[in-house]
Structure 1
Amino acid sequence: MRVIDITHKLDENVAIYEGDPRFSMETWSTVQDNGYMLSKLRMGTHTGTHMDAPCHFIEGGKTAAELPIKQFVGKCLVTDNIKMVEPGCHRVILKGKGRLNLDEAQWLIDHRVHLVGTAALSIGNDQVHKLLLGNECAVLELLDLKDVEKGRYILCAAPLKIDADGSPVRACLIEPD
């Protein structure tokens, strides 16, 4: 079994959407001084590899904690052509195609896709976000897909259980045996 980490490292150089808070980390406690190490993080909910929850664009939409974890774990298709999505394929990661237009987003909703991911900082414009998130289609953004071939995988990209508009994720793809 091969596991491919598709998460960008969180550090001061991680890409962020313009205007979002930058990532920072400081040492709060050290082993030398306190007998244990503890760090303090400061970042936006959409920093690095992350998911968008419906409430990011939908008034009263679900938070990251309210979405079922099974939405982020399971069979997944990595493709550069959304027309390759077959019935029963509920998770799609777009390789080589960064942003969706409104027609493509509607096509995914019509085909009952429950999660879509991209290497881009954003899956699309505000209308694309509203359409996907309004239909409870989770969005993964800023995936590291450089070592990933198109094909079928098992995705694991669970968000933190936090009542927020988004969450960092540690995402990986598992090649089935």
Structure 2
Amino acid sequence: MFRDLSHPIESGMPTYPGDPDVTLTPDASHDADGYATSELRTGTHAGTHVDAPRHTIDGGATLDDLDVGAFAFDAQLVDCRPLKPREPIGAEILPDELGTESDSPPNLLVLRTGWAEHWGTPRYRDHPHLTVAAAERCRELGVGVALDTFGPDPTPSASEAASVASEHAESQGTPAHDVLLGDELAVVENLRGLDGLPQRFRLFGFPLRLRGGDGAPVRAVAEWEA
């Protein structure tokens, strides 16, 4: 079975604060030109996408430096729910061991926070996030992470009051990104449709081949045996 885990790319879609807006507009038309084309303007980290190490690591690998096979993952779903807005996801939520005697270990943990349901609302910015300890645990296990949020680190809130009111001390900068990308472990962001997936599945997230890319949109697709 297959399932698309990607958000559609469309004008006005949510973007990380400060990133370019996305516009998708008609260019040529059948009536005027006899064919249809469109103009797409987007940042490299819009919608469902992967990060290259260059995203937060100065001199880190770009998309061109990584083998295309690095974007075909053996994934394991980790249900982190229920979570509060801006709640940190600690290392204790992650599995102690990966795989079983009959299954090979995964190389990607797909963390289901439930935040995809807030896509398109200001609340989406107030997503849970990884602690540095959790990111370091992933590094020890040799697994990347995929999330149904803007990313593994906190995102500036649409409401300053929401950040101030958070009961948890939040890390600054991109420490979880740095731990993962510093070891060239995958970071996949803004997934959707995680409900009902089996615990183990294949996830394909092949990025656009952007020369020197620090990241790129993907068509994230899950595959599993029915």
Q: What TM-score do the two structures reach when normalised by structure 2?
A: 0.72
Amino acid in the other structure paired with 1:65? D
**Corresponding position of 2:55:** 56
Amino acid in the other structure paired with 2:175? Q
**Corresponding position of 1:144:** 192
Q: Structure 2 vs 1, CA of residues 30 and 121 (structure 1 numbering), >3 Å: closer, same or farther? A: same
Structure 2 residue matching 1:29: 3-state secondary structure:
coil
Larger of the two Rg values belongs to structure: 2
More deviation, 151-160/85-94: 85-94
**Corresponding position of 1:119:** 148
**Corresponding position of 2:73:** 74
1:6: Cα distance to partner? 0.5
**Corresponding position of 1:110:** 140
Q: How big is each residue's C-alpha offset from its partner over 1:94-116, in whole Å with a ceiling of 9 and x where there is no partner?
A: 11274211001011111111x31
Higher strand content, 1 or 2: 1
Contact 2:48 / 2:191 at 8 angstroms: preserved in 1? Answer: yes
CA distance in 1, matches of 2:45, 2:8: 14
Identical pairs, percent? 30
1:31: Cα distance to partner? 2.0
Where structure 2 has 5 or more consecutive residues not aligned to the other structure, the ranges are: 80-92, 100-104, 115-127, 155-173
CA distance in 1, matches of 2:52, 2:73: 18
Structure 1 residue matching 2:129: 3-state secondary structure:
coil
Structure 1 residue matching 2:63: 3-state secondary structure:
coil
Q: What TM-score do the two structures reach when normalised by structure 1?
A: 0.90
* 1:158 alignment partner, one of 206, 212, 217: 206
Q: How big is each residue's C-alpha offset from its partner over 1:52-73, in whole Å with a ceiling of 9 and x where there is no partner?
A: 1100111111112322221221
Q: How big is each residue's C-alpha offset from its partner over 1:78-125, in whole Å with a ceiling of 9 and x where there is no partner?
A: 112421551632111111274211001011111111x31000111125
Contact 2:12 / 2:23 at 8 angstroms: preserved in 1? Answer: no
CA distance in 1, matches of 2:185, 2:6: 20
Q: How big is each residue's C-alpha offset from its partner over 1:142-165, in whole Å with a ceiling of 9 and x where there is no partner?
A: 100353435111111111111211
Size of the aligned set, in residue pairs, is: 175
